[in-house]
Structure 1
């Protein structure tokens, strides 16, 4: 097991600025996948205990940067879930270029082990729990967002769970080596309660996330309607999600992704057919401008949508 590590050294990196070879500068200042960078004059005290199903890392620090990087977990460290509990103090998390302030009572839940940094703004006490198997819904259901911040203290069961976690930290500090089986059982029970709190928040947040993503996808599609080879994979790459997620978001709207694309193209095509300033263009030219070069397919789809051919539609709307 890892020994206690008290660190008192100069910080070579400012928050938000990557340092070169910072891991090699402080080779003793980390546990696998977790690196501590104290500010000048600050101290960090880390204690790690490992049990059969869970690893606990207690961390007391003055202002410092704590960096979590799954690339450094190494062989034999098969963690599927990392949850961080801020038990006292104030901090700021950084993930994917975004920041969020957190305070005592906040839980930072991750889907698998992800790359994130926590800047302790004051003296802080944290508890990091890493488990071999996923326990909360965000991991089990492969939830779209890889990180969630929950104010546990606001939940009815939150204050009691946090109180137990503070007791657990004190026990971890006194323990030597392995986590006692009785304490491990208590930790897993508390973890189950905290996961229930997180899971109760996810459906609400998932709905808001999917609504926002749907709007962004539709805006992207509308900008690219004239691109004939517009594909789900292109949209997925643009929004940093999988093609499966793209299709899943649209499945809740009553029409598929390609049905939406087809409808919007037909609407744009019909609008141009009604435009007197475009009367000099051939119907095939307008269709090509809207990413629909197949005349036979276009005529069939247009007739289904408007109960007449494109030529008849144009003639109808050109009458004085």
Structure 2
């Protein structure tokens, strides 16, 4: 996956705001940007090209943005953008509507219509957010339908909004390890989830406008989200998962047939990854290994040790010690 990372602190203080603004406009769309912190602008920009879509992660102080008709005439990629605030709030106005969004929300806007907005922290510090850019013809809804969602707060605390929000966060976190083939599949899944989100908020069925394979991918993403939120439950079984989604256990298995590991293997890998992450966390060094294993659905510590070694080529204890050694800790 192609990735670009920019840090303003790598530049002289006098160049930081101008260079970051230019990079942000180049990555997204030409926009007028103003900030009270231009004299010493500390910000980052990470751009990921995920198949047919682009995902950006930004951190910066408070700022104002405006896209004018003149700017649109000069340059317009004709894209839709989905904003996901991670820290701070986004107040945005377009097409006669205005919305304020926070970390539990999503919001669409269009590059072909004027807009203005302010992004600011709630309690001081920087703001952080993600922006996903999608071409006009990538979603199943019409331009008129999608226009109805511009500058509208789309809750992401539960349902399809939470599913998409979690998917975007996790994709950004793992982007550096993705192969081109995985990036292409995630691009397709992201578009399916976006289409389902739009359908939901346009008062249609979540699968409306999606083909059979797209509906399968959306259902599979919903199941993965369900599993992720219950990884610590050692009683999580295929029957439980299937029942919660009103499908047969046999159909659940077919949904994961092309995922190499199958549903049980996928659950095991997610639990192992969470366990490995905790074992490498310096804040959890005092927590016993068996406690970490049990936290992620492995109540039998001997069994956990065996499958951890099979997956990573080392024991949980040796892995924890090696991470501490690398960090310069005794």
| TMscore range, shorter length | 0.3 to 0.5
Taking structure 2 as the reference length, the TM-score comes to: 0.45
Write 1 or 2 for the structure with the bigger share of helix: 2
Larger Rg: 1
